[in-house]
Amino acid sequence: MGMKKNIKIILNIILNRFGFQTIPMYELKYINEKHQEAVNEYVCYLRETIFKDIKEDLQRNKLLTKLYGTTVGEAMYIIDCLNKTSDITGEVCEFGVANGSTSVLIANEIKSTNKKLWLYDSFQGLSKPTKEDVLINDIFNLGAMVNYESTMSYPDSYVRSKLTSINFPKRRTRIITGFIDKTIYLSLPKKVAFAYIDFDLYEPTMITLDRLDRVLSKGSFVVVDDYDYFSSGVKIAVDKFVKKHRKYKLIMPKKFAGKFCILHKFK
């Protein structure tokens, strides 16, 4: 026991120098349980007040605790749009997958349907910013927009393992690897009912919206993350697209949910 105690003391000294500390397993378990409890209560409140058509799903609540870069509020808007498009012809797409935490949430919502899930990502991080991408929020404290190229890179194995964890059928999964300016012209569903775009930058967002316009069904929804947040490019792309295509309604979420927007194709 003395050896274990000495190792623990030395480990804590090393960790403290780097601003970290060890947490006993029972405390970590307690924290995780309280986090899950808080998410459950929050989701219950949102379902009772705003998203009254969304039914309870315990698996969903567990996935909501594991989100990265997406708020629970935004996730509920995504789920609401997926529910509204469940009977609309078309597949479901996500552009900008990162570590797959939103992908698995979307997959869980369409698991009981016949819709396929199309996932697009370079798996090499963000593409090169353009002049439209002015830094608004320096989220990683990198100092300049140019320094964000290649950040947020995750291997596609992250995504695959998360989809496997909920038993989402492989035959209904399409993972398209590569930067969107190369892949979207080669591989895209004939019809799309819902799309989630999280490319952070102007050019990939603009390319995706322009190409999606050709395949989006009437009544479809597109959720675009980081609208007027992080980079100015996303808002510029969305506003330009909506101005050009009058068949889309731009919907802004309630402020608590985060920085994103929703496009509804009404004709």
Band of residue 15 on the pLDDT scale cut at 50, 70, 90: low
**What percent of the chain lies above the pLDDT cut of 90?**
84
37 in a domain, yes or no?
A: no
Is the pTM value of this prediction over 0.85? yes
Distance of alpha carbon 88 from alpha carbon 76, whole angstroms: 19
- Beta pairing class for 260-265 and 248-251: antiparallel
Domain that holds residue 151: 70-265
195 in a domain, yes or no?
A: yes
Q: How many CA atoms are closer than 13 Å to the CA of 21, on its beta-carbon side?
A: 4
Report the domain count for the chain: 1
Angle at 113 (CA atoms; ends 96, 85), nearest 5 degrees? 65
Least confident residue range of 10-14, 58-62, 102-106: 10-14
137 in a domain, yes or no?
A: yes
**Helix (H), strand (E) counts: the chain:** 9, 7
Q: What is the CATH number of the domain that holds 116?
A: 3.40.50.150
Distance of alpha carbon 65 from alpha carbon 204, whole angstroms: 28
22 in a domain, yes or no?
A: no
**Residue 34 has which token pair?**
């309280």
Distance of alpha carbon 30 from alpha carbon 34, whole angstroms: 6
198 in a domain, yes or no?
A: yes
